[in-house]
Structure 1
Amino acid sequence: MSAINFRGIIPAISVPFNDDYSIDAPELRRFAQWLAKRDGIVALMTNGHTGEVFSLTPRERAEVTAITADAVRDICPVISSIVCEGINEAVEQAGWAKEAGAKGLDIMPPHHWLRFGFKPEHCLDYFNAIGEASGLPLVVHIYPAWTRGSYSSDLLAELARNKHVAAFKMGEREMNKYARDIRKIREADPSKVLMTCHDEYLLASMVQGIDGALVGFASLVPGLINDLLNAVKAGDLHEAMRVQDLITPLKDAVYGAGEPTGEAHGRMKAAMALAGILRSGTVRPPTHAPSADELAAIRSALAHANLLPQRAA
Structure 2
Amino acid sequence: MSIFHGLSAFPITPANEHGVVDTEGVMRLTAHLSVKGVDSIGLLGSTGTYAYLSRTERCRAIRAAVKTTPLIVGIGTLRTDDAQNLARDAAAEGADGLLMAPVSYTPLTQEEAYQHYKAVAEVTSLPLCIYNNPSTTHFSFSRDLLEQLADLPNIAAVKMPAPTEGTVAQELAALRSSPVGKLAIGYSGDWIAAEALLAGSDGWFSVLGGFLPKLAKAMVTAAHESDARAVNQYQQVLEPMWALFREFGSLRVAYAAINLLELSSAQPPRPILPLTSQDRRRVEEALKACTAL
Equivalent position to 2:4, from 3, 6, 10: 6
In structure 2, the CA distance between the partners of 1:56 and 1:146, relative to structure 1 (3 Å rule), is closer
- Aligned twin of 2:47: 50
Amino acid in the other structure paired with 1:272 = I
The SS at the match of 1:176 is coil
The SS at the match of 2:122 is helix
- Aligned twin of 2:258: 272
* Structure 2 residues without counterparts, runs of 5 or longer: none
Is 1:103 paired with 2:93? no
Q: CA deviation at 1:281?
A: 3.9
- In structure 2, C-alpha distance between the alignment counterparts of 1:123 and 1:248, rounded to whole Å: 35
**Count of residues paired in the alignment:** 292
- In structure 1, C-alpha distance between the alignment counterparts of 2:32 and 2:165, rounded to whole Å: 33
- Contact between 1:104 and 1:137, CA under 8 Å: does it hold in 2? yes
- Contact between 2:157 and 2:183, CA under 8 Å: does it hold in 1? yes
- In structure 2, C-alpha distance between the alignment counterparts of 1:293 and 1:173, rounded to whole Å: 32
Q: Deviations over 1:149-199 (max 9, x none)?
A: 110122212222322211111114424385565334322154421111112
The SS at the match of 1:91 is helix
Amino acid in the other structure paired with 1:116 = P
Instruction: With the length of structure 2 as denominator, give the TM-score of the two structures.
Output: 0.89
Equivalent position to 1:167, from 157, 163, 169: 157
The SS at the match of 1:49 is coil
In structure 2, the CA distance between the partners of 1:178 and 1:59, relative to structure 1 (3 Å rule), is farther
- Aligned twin of 2:80: 87
- Aligned twin of 2:237: 246
Q: CA deviation at 1:105?
A: 0.9
- Aligned twin of 1:201: 192
Question: What pairs up with 1:197-236 in 2 under 5 angstroms?
Answer: 197-236=188-227
The SS at the match of 1:133 is coil
In structure 2, the CA distance between the partners of 1:164 and 1:243, relative to structure 1 (3 Å rule), is same
- Contact between 1:160 and 1:185, CA under 8 Å: does it hold in 2? no
Q: CA deviation at 1:78?
A: 1.2
- In structure 2, C-alpha distance between the alignment counterparts of 1:28 and 1:130, rounded to whole Å: 26
Instruction: With the length of structure 1 as denominator, give the TM-score of the two structures.
Output: 0.84
- In structure 2, C-alpha distance between the alignment counterparts of 1:307 and 1:36, rounded to whole Å: 22
Amino acid in the other structure paired with 1:289 = P
Q: CA deviation at 1:63?
A: 1.5
- Contact between 1:4 and 1:103, CA under 8 Å: does it hold in 2? no
- In structure 2, C-alpha distance between the alignment counterparts of 1:265 and 1:145, rounded to whole Å: 13
The SS at the match of 1:195 is strand
Is 1:139 paired with 2:132? no
**CA RMSD after TM alignment:** 2.5
Q: Which moved more, 1:138-147 or 1:207-216?
A: 138-147
The SS at the match of 1:106 is strand
- In structure 2, C-alpha distance between the alignment counterparts of 1:184 and 1:224, rounded to whole Å: 30
- In structure 1, C-alpha distance between the alignment counterparts of 2:104 and 2:176, rounded to whole Å: 27
Equivalent position to 2:172, from 182, 199, 213: 182
- In structure 1, C-alpha distance between the alignment counterparts of 2:69 and 2:264, rounded to whole Å: 23
Give identity over the alignment, percent.
22
Q: Which moved more, 1:194-203 or 1:174-183?
A: 174-183
- Aligned twin of 1:311: none
Amino acid in the other structure paired with 1:95 = R
Q: CA deviation at 1:217?
A: 2.1
The SS at the match of 2:199 is coil
The SS at the match of 1:134 is coil
* Structure 1 residues without counterparts, runs of 5 or longer: 309-313
- In structure 2, C-alpha distance between the alignment counterparts of 1:84 and 1:30, rounded to whole Å: 26
Q: CA deviation at 1:207?
A: 2.7
Q: CA deviation at 1:203?
A: 1.2
In structure 2, the CA distance between the partners of 1:4 and 1:59, relative to structure 1 (3 Å rule), is farther
- In structure 1, C-alpha distance between the alignment counterparts of 2:174 and 2:160, rounded to whole Å: 13
